[in-house]
């Protein structure tokens, strides 16, 4: 599911550090860049889910799932296939509306927000990372990472400068001009991590982000994700069924038959 709305942002020209060709400003009114985050009161949780229930027809996906994540924390959500991990992640991110229970972000109940307010929240405060990266195939890596900033109203040059910094941080700047189809899976996932973090989200939702990679590439992506998220004090909710991946987390929660159990500290 594409999370960031995909809009053309000008021709997919060659990316790199050569001066970007002048592109007309986006047709619609530019939104201001995200405001700096307000500090949370000491000890307050960033995101809390309580008693979540969700069914799809006769299938119960969530049956009273609860969890919370603190600022800067990397939380692993483990569990067997079909246990409800992705459904839980989608409810936490305000993508899926639960049948019961509450999700509260910075003390605000997501159910109380209008659809447009919830989408704005997803755009400005949340970052997303999926198993197959879901980069836009027609855009270069640099343009893919710059895209969320362009959608937030930044001019092309500024957006691409910031995108470039993130590609460097994720050690994949040499692939900036390539399109996603021209890269390895590991490179693609590093670009996807850069895109998830470029807007300075408070929470990154990652669903099996290394599921398509071999263990060496997977570990590298996890190390870079962990370091980048810690550097920018972003919380990460990392869904995985691999204990090896969960070892990168500060804390682990297991989902079983739609219910959660906190296993405490990870590494």
Q: Which is nearer to ligand ATP, 124 or 240 (CB)?
A: 240
Residue 84 binds to ligand ATP (criterion: CB under 6 A): yes
Backbone angles phi and psi of 159, in degrees to 5: -60, -40
CA angle 224, 208, 90 (to 5 degrees): 115
Q: Which is nearer to ligand ATP, 65 or 149 (CB)?
A: 65
How many Å apart are CA 97 and CA 226, to the nearest integer? 28
Q: Which is nearer to Mg ion, 86 or 260 (CB)?
A: 86
223 binds, among Mg ion, ligand ATP, none (CB under 5 to 8 A by kind): none
Among the listed residues 48, 86, 162, 260, the single contact to Mg ion using CB under 5 A: 86
Find the residue with minimal CB distance to Mg ion.
86
How many Å apart are CA 62 and CA 55, to the nearest integer? 7
14 binds, among Mg ion, ligand ATP, none (CB under 5 to 8 A by kind): none
Q: Which is nearer to ligand ATP, 59 or 108 (CB)?
A: 59
How many Å apart are CA 149 and CA 145, to the nearest integer? 8
Angstrom distances, CA of residue 175 to CA of 89, 114, 125, 143, 184: 30, 39, 27, 11, 10
Strands 59-69, 251-256: pairing is unpaired
54-83 residues in contact with ligand ATP (CB under 6 A) are 56, 59, 61, 79, 81-83
Interface with ligand ATP (CB under 6 A): 56, 59, 61, 79, 81-87, 241
């Amino acid at each position: 599911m594409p999370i960031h709305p995909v809009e053309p942002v000008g021709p997919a020209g060659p990316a790199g550090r050569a001066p970007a060709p002048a592109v007309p400003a986006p047709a619609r009114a530019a939104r201001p860049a995200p405001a700096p985050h307000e500090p949370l009161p000491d000890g307050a949780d960033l995101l809390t889910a309580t008693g979540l229930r969700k069914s799809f027809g006769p299938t119960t996906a969530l049956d009273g799932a609860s969890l919370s994540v603190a600022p800067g924390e990397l939380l692993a959500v483990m569990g067997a296939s079909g246990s409800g991990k992705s459904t839980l992640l989608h409810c936490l991110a305000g993508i899926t509306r639960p049948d019961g229970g509450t999700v509260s972000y910075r003390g605000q109940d997501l159910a109380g927000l209008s659809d447009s307010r919830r989408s704005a929240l997803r755009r400005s405060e949340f970052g997303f990372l999926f198993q197959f990266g879901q980069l836009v195939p027609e855009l270069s890596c640099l343009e893919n990472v710059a895209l969320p900033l362009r959608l937030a109203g930044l001019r092309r040059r500024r957006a691409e400068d910031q995108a470039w910094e993130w590609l460097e941080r994720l050690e994949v700047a040499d692939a900036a001009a390539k399109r996603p189809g021209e890269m390895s899976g590991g490179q693609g996932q590093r670009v996807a991590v850069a895109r998830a973090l470029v807007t300075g989200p408070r929470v990154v939702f990652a669903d099996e982000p290394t599921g398509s990679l071999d263990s060496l590439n997977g570990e590298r992506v996890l190390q870079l994700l962990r370091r980048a998220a810690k550097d920018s004090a972003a919380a990460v909710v990392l869904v995985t069924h691999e204990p090896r991946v969960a070892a990168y987390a500060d804390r682990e929660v297991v989902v079983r038959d739609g219910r959660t159990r906190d296993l405490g500290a990870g590494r």
